[in-house]
Amino acid sequence: MRVLVAMSGGVDSSVAAALLQAQGHEVVGATMKLWGGRSDSGCCSVADVLDARRVADRLGIEHHTFSLTEAFEESVVAPYVAGHAAGRTPNPCVECNRHLKFDRFLERALRLGFDAVATGHHARVERDAGGQVRLLRGADRQKDQSYVLAVLERAQLQRSLFPVGTMTKPEVRRMAERLGLSTAAKPDSQDVCFVARHGEGSGRKGFLAPRVELHPGRVVEASTGAVVGQVDAVELVTVGQRRGLGPNGAASGARRYALEVDVANRTVLVGGEEELLVRRHPLEQRTWVGDALALGTEVLVQSSAHGQTRRAVLEEGGVRLLDPARAVAPGQLVACYVGDQVVGSGIVAAQGAAAGISASPAG
């Protein structure tokens, strides 16, 4: 089988290429050059392209660089900026998987005559006797990346391989060391690739300020309507946030959390932790890995890459939680599981503070 490996310059994709080569596949490596701005850091940077090339040379395989900067700007960066401008908290890594790695990259691979693409994600794809695929958690629960792949559909997974999904991270590093790969001890990327992490003005604010107007906003106590503080940029506040909201604590000294971000009125509603609890996650952009599950089906939902799973029931327009949980910021992904199997996902839609328990009795 001819396999095009998306080599990010990290140890996982390096070992993925080595494993496929050892299995006798015809392997070619390719690195996506996605971001070329002055904050060229994180995954898919110039340094990562060089690291991937060194690994390919060590393995004796071809290596190519695909420039997808325009597609990345259009499908990932621009929606990220627009999301923050609307008071949402987008997940650019999820959208990169959706639009770049398993869309543009896969499309190019098939056009070039490859049978499949492979990445270094810690996840597993299993095929049943009929050839249908299932997406499962990676063997290493600490490094499981099935959450960020929950937007993929069956047709994409049919052509996708995750060779390190059955390995633990220490096993991956030991194999890379045995093979003499230069990425064996390379740290995992932690940053959003296009958000600078260096010097004054770095981080989200440093990236967004030249691209969208940021506005100061009021911090308002949800239960009383009293103004209790202010923020420098309402567009940078995330639902569930505690820090950076001015004097944090009402007369009782209780901690306050962002319950709702209203960019149009430049207002952040805050309240106690109990007011942050909800019984429902409204979802849009619903996707299914396979066939859509029936409404009323019980699933496990996960709202961050390594977050806790919670029991929920599928319903029209979202999921109903069987036990109350913290609200998830609009723009974030909620992945749905049945056991270890990813069955689908959705993006959290905006919901007001009134969705909290105090105003939404259990049904």
Residue 44 is among the residues annotated as catalytic for this protein? no
Which has the closest alpha carbon to 123: 106, 102, 104?
102
User: For residues 117 and 102, what is the distance between their CA atoms, to the nearest angstrom?
Assistant: 8
Q: Which of 43, 44, 93, 193 is catalytic?
A: 193
Which has the closest alpha carbon to 98: 86, 108, 106, 89?
106
Residue 96 is among the residues annotated as catalytic for this protein? yes
User: For residues 350 and 356, what is the distance between their CA atoms, to the nearest angstrom?
Assistant: 13
Which has the closest alpha carbon to 105: 183, 6, 7, 16?
6
User: For residues 117 and 3, what is the distance between their CA atoms, to the nearest angstrom?
Assistant: 5
Tokens 């007001």 belong to residue: 352
Phi, psi of 289 (to 5 degrees): -65, -40
Q: Which of 43, 44, 93, 96 is catalytic?
A: 96
Q: Are 50 and 29 contacting, i.e. CB atoms less than 8 angstroms apart?
A: no
Q: Are 159 and 110 contacting, i.e. CB atoms less than 8 angstroms apart?
A: yes
User: For residues 286 and 246, what is the distance between their CA atoms, to the nearest angstrom?
Assistant: 36
For the annotated catalytic residues, the residue numbers are 96, 193
